[in-house]
Amino acid sequence: MKLIVVESPAKGRTIESFLGKDYKVLSSYGHIRDLPKGKLGIDVEKNFEPTYVIPTKARKHVTLLKKESKKANEVILATDEDREGESISFHLKEVLGLKNPKRIVFHEITKSAIEEALQNPRTINEQLVEAQQARRILDRLVGYKLSPFLWKKVARGLSAGRVQSVAVRLVADREREIEAFKPEEYWSLEALLHKLNDALEFSASLVKKDGKAVPKLGIKSKEESEAILQDLKGANWQVREVERKETRRNPLPPFTTSTLQQTAAQRLHFSAKQTMQLAQQLYEMGAITYHRTDSLNLSALAKTSAEKYLKENYGKEYVFPRSFKTRSKGAQEAHEAIRSTSAERTHIKLTGPQAKLYDLIRGRFLASQAAPALFDSASIDIAAASCIFRATGQTLKFDGFLKVYPMKFEETELPPLQKQEGLILSKLLPSQHFTQPPARYTEATLVKMLEEQGIGRPSTYAPTLSTIQERGYVDKDAQRRFHLTELGAVVTDLLVEHFPDIVDAKFTAEMEENLDKIAEGTKEWQPMLKAFYEPFAETLEKKYEDVSKETLVVETGEKCPECGSPLVVRFGRFGKFTACTNFPKCRYTESLEENKPQQLGISCPRCGNGEIVAKRTKRGKIFYACNRYPECDFALWNKPTGEKCEKCEALLVEAGKTKIKCSNKECPSLQKKGSSSTA
DNA sequence: CAGTGAGCGAGCTTCCGCTTGACTT
Q: Convert the pLDDT of each residue in A513-537 to its tens digit.
A: 999 999 999 999 999 999 999 999 9
Confidence of residue A672 (pLDDT cuts 50, 70, 90): very low
Which candidate in A290, A441, A473, A624 is catalytic?
A290
CA of residue A570 to C1' of nucleotide B6, angstroms: 13
Nearest nucleotide by C1' position to the A88 CA atom: B18
Say if strands A74-77 and A422-434 run parallel, antiparallel, or are unpaired: unpaired
Distance CA A7, CA A29 (A): 5
- Looking at residue A379, its pLDDT comes to 96
- A657 pLDDT more than 60: no
What is Dmax (Cα atoms) for chain A? 95
Closest CA to the C1' of B21: that residue is A57
Distance CA A667, CA A649 (A): 9
- Looking at residue A574, its pLDDT comes to 62
CA of residue A66 to C1' of nucleotide B20, angstroms: 20
> Once rounded to an integer, what is the mean pLDDT over residues A498-510?
96
CA of residue A449 to C1' of nucleotide B15, angstroms: 21
Q: Which residues of A279-302 are buried (b: 16+ CB within 10 A; e: fewer)?
A: bebbbebebbbbbbbbbbbbbeeb
Nearest nucleotide by C1' position to the A150 CA atom: B14
Q: Which residues of A434-462 are buried (b: 16+ CB within 10 A; e: fewer)?
A: eeeeeebbbbbbbbbbbbebbbbbbebbb
CA of residue A26 to C1' of nucleotide B22, angstroms: 21
Helix (H) or strand (E) holding A423: strand A422-434
- The angle formed by the CA atoms of residues A446, A449 and A452, to the nearest 5 degrees, is 150
Peptide linkage before A101 cis (omega within 30 of 0): no
- pTM across the whole model: 0.85
Closest CA to the C1' of B4: that residue is A572
Distance CA A44, CA A42 (A): 6
Contact A65/A92 with Cβ under 8 angstroms?
Answer: yes
- A620 pLDDT more than 80: no
Confidence of residue A668 (pLDDT cuts 50, 70, 90): low
Backbone conformation region of residue A417, classed left if phi is above 0, alpha if psi is from -120 to 50, else beta: beta
CA of residue A490 to C1' of nucleotide B4, angstroms: 16
Burial of A36 (0-12, 13-18, 19+ CB in 10 A): middle
At residue A647, what is the residue type? K
- Looking at residue A631, its pLDDT comes to 76
What are the distances in angstroms from CA A342 to CA A2, A114, A306, A426?
A: 30, 19, 8, 55
Confidence of residue A595 (pLDDT cuts 50, 70, 90): low
Confidence of residue A332 (pLDDT cuts 50, 70, 90): low
- A407 pLDDT more than 80: yes
Nearest nucleotide by C1' position to the A291 CA atom: B19
Signed CA dihedral, A89, A94, A96, A102: sign only: positive
CA of residue A139 to C1' of nucleotide B16, angstroms: 6
Nucleotides of B under 7 A from a protein CB: 1-6, 12-21, 25
> Once rounded to an integer, what is the mean pLDDT over residues A407-412?
93
Burial of A385 (0-12, 13-18, 19+ CB in 10 A): middle
- A671 pLDDT more than 50: no
- A534 CB-near residues (< 8 Å, 6+ apart): none
Distance CA A280, CA A679 (A): 18
What are the distances in angstroms from CA A312 to CA A211, A395, A492, A577?
A: 53, 27, 56, 68
Question: Which of A466, A468, A461 has the alpha carbon at shortest distance from A488?
Answer: A468
- Residue A345 DSSP SS3: coil
Question: Which of A339, A336, A333 has the alpha carbon at shortest distance from A297?
Answer: A336
How many other C-beta atoms can be found within 10 angstroms of the C-beta atom of residue A359? 16
Distance CA A267, CA A468 (A): 24
CA of residue A574 to C1' of nucleotide B3, angstroms: 9
CA of residue A61 to C1' of nucleotide B19, angstroms: 11
> Once rounded to an integer, what is the mean pLDDT over residues A640-667?
74
- Looking at residue A655, its pLDDT comes to 66
> Once rounded to an integer, what is the mean pLDDT over residues A164-175?
97
Closest CA to the C1' of B24: that residue is A677
Nearest nucleotide by C1' position to the A283 CA atom: B20
Helix (H) or strand (E) holding A384: strand A373-384
Question: Considering chain A, what is the average pLDDT of its residues?
Answer: 90
Q: What are the strands, taking DSSP E only, across A195-286? A: 202-209, 212-213, 237-249
Closest CA to the C1' of B13: that residue is A157
Say if strands A185-194 and A42-43 run parallel, antiparallel, or are unpaired: unpaired
- A450 pLDDT more than 60: yes
- Looking at residue A661, its pLDDT comes to 75
Peptide linkage before A630 cis (omega within 30 of 0): yes
- The one-character DSSP state at A595 is G
Confidence of residue A594 (pLDDT cuts 50, 70, 90): low
Distance CA A670, CA A89 (A): 54
Closest CA to the C1' of B22: that residue is A57
Closest CA to the C1' of B16: that residue is A139
pLDDT in tens, A81-92: 999 999 999 999
| A52 catalytic per annotation | no
Domains of chain A, first to last:
2-124 (3.40.50.140), 134-180+439-546 (1.10.460.10), 185-250+373-434 (2.70.20.10), 257-368 (1.10.290.10), 553-594 (no CATH), 612-672 (no CATH)
- Looking at residue A524, its pLDDT comes to 97
Question: How far out from the chain centre does Cα A664 lie?
Answer: 40
Distance CA A440, CA A333 (A): 31
Closest CA to the C1' of B18: that residue is A30
Nearest nucleotide by C1' position to the A508 CA atom: B16
CA of residue A275 to C1' of nucleotide B20, angstroms: 16
How many other C-beta atoms can be found within 10 angstroms of the C-beta atom of residue A305? 21
Burial of A343 (0-12, 13-18, 19+ CB in 10 A): buried
**Rg for chain A (alpha carbons), in Å?**
32
